[in-house]
Chains A and B, each alone.
Chain A
Amino acid sequence: MPDQLIFAMEVTLNGLLNGVMYALVALGFVLIFKASGIFNYAQGVMALFAAMTLVGIQQGRVPFGHLINEIFGTDIHYFGWEVPALAAILLTVLVMMGFAVLVQKFVFRHLVGQEPIILFMATIGLAYFLEGVSDLMWGSEIRNMDVGLPQGINDAIDAATFEIFGYGFFIDNLDISAAIIAAILVGGLIAFAQYTKQGRAMRAVADDHQAALSVGIKLNYVWVLVWSLAGIVALVAGIMWGSKSGVQFSLSLIALKALPVLMLGGFTSIPGAIVGGLIIGVGEALFEFSIGPMIGGATENWFAYVLALVFLVFRPQGLFGEKIIERV
């Protein structure tokens, strides 16, 4: 087999695994959008905040330590204990649930019935707010995340591909575990939506707010639930990206990458988010591999958006989105 083709295969495989990451963030968007019609720009910052909180709890940092030190002139940074990864994850889930309650109570309950674009801009405000809070709570330095996920090159794949092609593929263990966890997460979410009472309430609200309200479903409860779920998805995405490249501000920018994923997949479809993520992941990897060197590289900065833009012109509702019917 020619070398170029083998390289392209490796690039495609890595692109697919990157796409899983994008899909993971996009999933959080879809959950909130389906249930409340809010296009949650803050999803990426939620991932950052969740990852920061996880690392902070794990290392036993004092929340708002920086601020307390400035006000009272003290010099405290650590409680002096370390929390095991699993307990820290559970605590972070609690924090994200608390965040969901607060967001619903103070922001989006007051914006019910507003135009989607107003809600979108409110979530941009929320993103700024949360970013500031995250910095105030845990500081803005880059943190290393270690929750015990396997890292580094996967030797088994390296050896197996060397057998077949005479060239070992470089596949990161972390990407593989991300793909597995994403699959479990999606399966869990679908099961939750299909087989539990809360899940049914969630689907009912997504289908029709007023009808759901009239059969006695509490909208507020469902929205808090959905924001909590999105918070948990954000935490998972935060753990993945954080373990890969450190917990830092650029984590919140993956939210922007998830937008074209959603536009390809359609805002209301969970499978769409997955497929869209994979298309974008593979597409940008292959484009950078084949055309990138000719036009200066770093095309992955914009390829996803331009692809989505071109795609939207021909199919405005995305691949799996419901057809847009406009009434006057």
Chain B
Amino acid sequence: MFYREAGDFKTSYTDDNQTFPIAFDRYRYYIVLVIGLGIIPFIINDYWANSILLPFLIYAIAAIGLNILTGYCGQVSLGTGGFMAVGAFTSYKLMTAFPWMDMVTITLLSGFMTAMVGVAFGLPSLRIKGFYLAVATLAAQFFLVWLFNKVPWFFNYSASGQISAPERTLFGLAITGPNAEAPVKYLFCFAFVFVLAWIARNLTRGSIGRQWMAIRDMDIAAEIIGVNPLKAKLTAFAVSSFYVGVAGALLFTVYLGAVEVGASYGIQRSFLILFMIIIGGLGSIFGSFAGAAFMVILPVALRNFFAGTLGWDPALATHFEFVIVGALIMFFLIVEPHGLARLWALAKEKLRLWPFPH
């Protein structure tokens, strides 16, 4: 009834090309922004920020990054954790070496550093395909984690091998360190998510995004119609690693504060992000958000249910989490390979016809 193109007349090319051509979608988007910017910062507390909102926002960035590489360009990567570690350690080195530098610059520079590393590890993708490449990215994962573990320069020769974020401020408000307030951290991450998601959305529907998708659908055919595979694959690796690096930097500086590389950026992290985009939907920005939300909320909900409501041993809740996540992955791949994003699209199709389905 209200969700349809009819009656919404576009009078300029800009209008015609906009991201959300349907008025209802547009208002929904503004409402999400108003809630995210106008309501949540005032009611947020440490529990909500640390258990759900911050991980959701940060993982959403990483999921968008991996989705660009895997969902849009079809290159499966299992090295996400390693690339996140590059972002984290770059931001750490920058924060300690240049104390005057502001956090936005540091985070962006971490992203660029990761992009360069990502391109270096993406080079073999020109010759290696499919899961051969997936295994090759494991080399990045294990090598990078080992590197940050073994070369003391990266963690400033600290005895424990851990890195911890010193306090940095932006506009006089602490963003990192123990004194940072939940709303400030939240808004800082929200700003990054907003800008990066906006860029990703527009990249993927522009010329470069179409090249990625052509490579994904069939790389030889794409080459024949004039897509340069070198350029398409390496830009996908660069952009994807940039996002993943920013996420890794934020995870360390804003969310965790102190990390040990093997525990925080190990292979489990790579799989977590991969699961997010499978469950959320490959090749969809909305899917990255949905998947990140799902994978962040699921363990919290399960723990609350098993440990809180039923009063069971928390270890059992963790085991159930494995079972449920694994079953869901298989379920989604069998029933709905396009994930939550596809369910959302189906709901919108239904909504178009509602309430008169014929």
Q: A residues within 8 Å of B by Cβ?
A: 39, 66-67, 70, 107, 110-111, 114, 116-118, 120-122, 124-133, 135-136, 140, 256, 259-260, 262-263, 295-299, 301-302, 305-306, 308-309, 312-313, 316, 326, 328
Contacts and interface: CB of A to CB of B under 8 A. Distances in A.
Contacts of B320: 132, 136
Interface in B135-157: 135-136, 138-139, 141-143, 145-146, 149-151
B236 interface: no
Given A120-B134, A302-B139, A302-B143, A129 B323 contact: yes
Interface string B313-337: 1011011111111111110011001
Contacts of A122: 329-330, 333-334
B312 interface: yes
B316, B326, B327 — which one has the most chain A CB atoms within 10 A of its CB? B326
Given A111-B334, A308-B135, A135 B313 contact: no
14 contacts: A111-B334, A120-B134, A121-B76, A122-B330, A129-B326, A129-B327, A132-B321, A136-B323, A260-B135, A302-B142, A305-B141, A306-B139, A306-B143, A316-B127
A70 B220 contact: no
Contacts of B316: 66-67, 70, 136
A309 B150 contact: no
A219 to B, nearest CB: 18
Nearest to A133: B323
A70, A262, A298, A305 — which one has the most chain B CB atoms within 10 A of its CB? A305
B131 A124 contact: no
A258 B329 CA distance: 23
B38 interface: no
Given A132-B325, A328-B221, 6 more contacts: A66-B313, A126-B326, A131-B326, A135-B318, A136-B316, A328-B218
Contacts, number: 140
Contact of B128 (A127, A132, A260, A316): A316
B284 to A, nearest CB: 16
A124 B326 CA distance: 8
A129 B327 CA distance: 6
Contacts of A301: 142, 145-146
Given A121-B333, A256-B138, A308-B139, A39 B131 contact: yes
A22 to B, nearest CB: 14
A121 B127 contact: no
A309 B139 contact: yes
Interface of B: 76, 124, 127-132, 134-136, 138-139, 141-143, 145-146, 149-151, 218, 220-221, 224, 267, 271, 274-275, 278, 310, 312-313, 315-316, 318-330, 333-334, 337
A140 B320 CA distance: 12
B139 A117 contact: no
B337 A118 contact: yes
A116 B136 contact: no
Nearest to A327: B220
Contacts of B313: 66, 70
Contact of A117 (B131, B146, B271, B326): B131
A67 B323 CA distance: 14
Given A122-B333, A131-B322, A259 B135 contact: yes
A312 B128 contact: yes
Contacts of B139: 302, 305-306, 308-309
Contact of A305 (B76, B143, B275): B143
B138 to A, nearest CB: 5
The 9 A-B residue pairs whose C-beta atoms are closest, nearest first, are A129-B326, A125-B329, A132-B322, A128-B326, A132-B323, A305-B139, A296-B150, A302-B142, A135-B319
A280 to B, nearest CB: 13
B124 A309 contact: yes
Contacts of A70: 310, 312-313, 316
Nearest to B223: A328
Contacts of B151: 296
A244 B348 CA distance: 56
Contacts of A66: 313, 316
Contacts of A124: 271, 274, 329
Contacts of A116: 130-131
A109 to B, nearest CB: 10
A296 B143 CA distance: 13
B130 A117 contact: yes
Nearest to B311: A70
A136 B333 contact: no
A125 B130 contact: no
Contacts of A110: 334
Contacts of A308: 135-136, 139
Contacts of A316: 127-129, 132
Contact of A299 (B146, B324, B334): B146
Contacts of A296: 150-151
Contacts of B127: 312-313, 316
A116 B221 CA distance: 19
A117 B277 CA distance: 14
B322 A129 contact: yes
A298 B146 contact: yes
Contacts of B322: 128-129, 131-132, 135
B142 A305 contact: yes
A107, A116, A125, A299 — which one has the most chain B CB atoms within 10 A of its CB? A125
A136 to B, nearest CB: 5
